Amino acid sequence: MARFIARILLGLALCVAVIAVGTTAQARAYENFNYGFEVMLPPGMRLFITEPPGPNHGFTLLNKSSDCDADDQEGIEFFAAYNAGDDASSAVELSKIYCANGSSNPTKYNVGGLKFRKCSVIGRFGKLIDVKFVALRPRPGEDISNWIICMIDIVCKNENYAKWHRVLEKIFVGMKLAKVEQ
């Protein structure tokens, strides 16, 4: 539970300390050289990233009319970092750490050999509040603590999950892995 709360706080911190990058009518690329990935972002969305000199762990993607500080925001949070938690040596072990109930399922998403697992976080009254996709990117010759964790959260209301999942599918289609800068 503490890790779940820490993850929520991290997401809020990313959102609070951000700059809005304007929306465009075209898809655009987001590159993260620290963690070695590039994604194509669908058009019509607002992109929020941590303002330098803050660490570039990822991004938050919201509807173009959304405010990052709103309590009821829906969107996609993409977070990458080193230091695989508790020496998780597989995506299965990583999902046990970051998924509230500890269970996850494999997905069809495989980006350059990076395989994602999925779990759902159910809130009060059986309502879906968060769907997590997690992956662990090994770095050959590196200690597990220097492997890269990748977490994607769809934060939404039950009735809007399908919409946000379609957005995420577009992101997965355009996602590429690159060499991680040392």
Range of the domain at 102: 2-177
Q: What local confidence, expressed as pLDDT, does residue 118 receive? A: 92
C-alpha closest to that of 91 among 79, 80, 106: 106
Percent share of the chain, pLDDT over 90: 10
In a domain, 182, yes or no: no
In a domain, 149, yes or no: yes
Q: What local confidence, expressed as pLDDT, does residue 18 receive? A: 41
**pLDDT tens-digit readout, 161-179:** 888 899 999 888 888 988 7
CATH code at position 77: 3.40.1000.10
Q: What local confidence, expressed as pLDDT, does residue 67 receive? A: 58
C-alpha closest to that of 78 among 123, 24, 27, 40: 40
**pLDDT tens-digit readout, 97-127:** 888 766 889 999 988 888 999 988 777 777 7
Q: What is the DSSP letter of 118?
A: E
User: Higher confidence at residue 169 or residue 1?
Assistant: 169
How are beta strands 28-32 and 58-63 bridged, if at all?
unpaired
Number of domains in the chain: 1
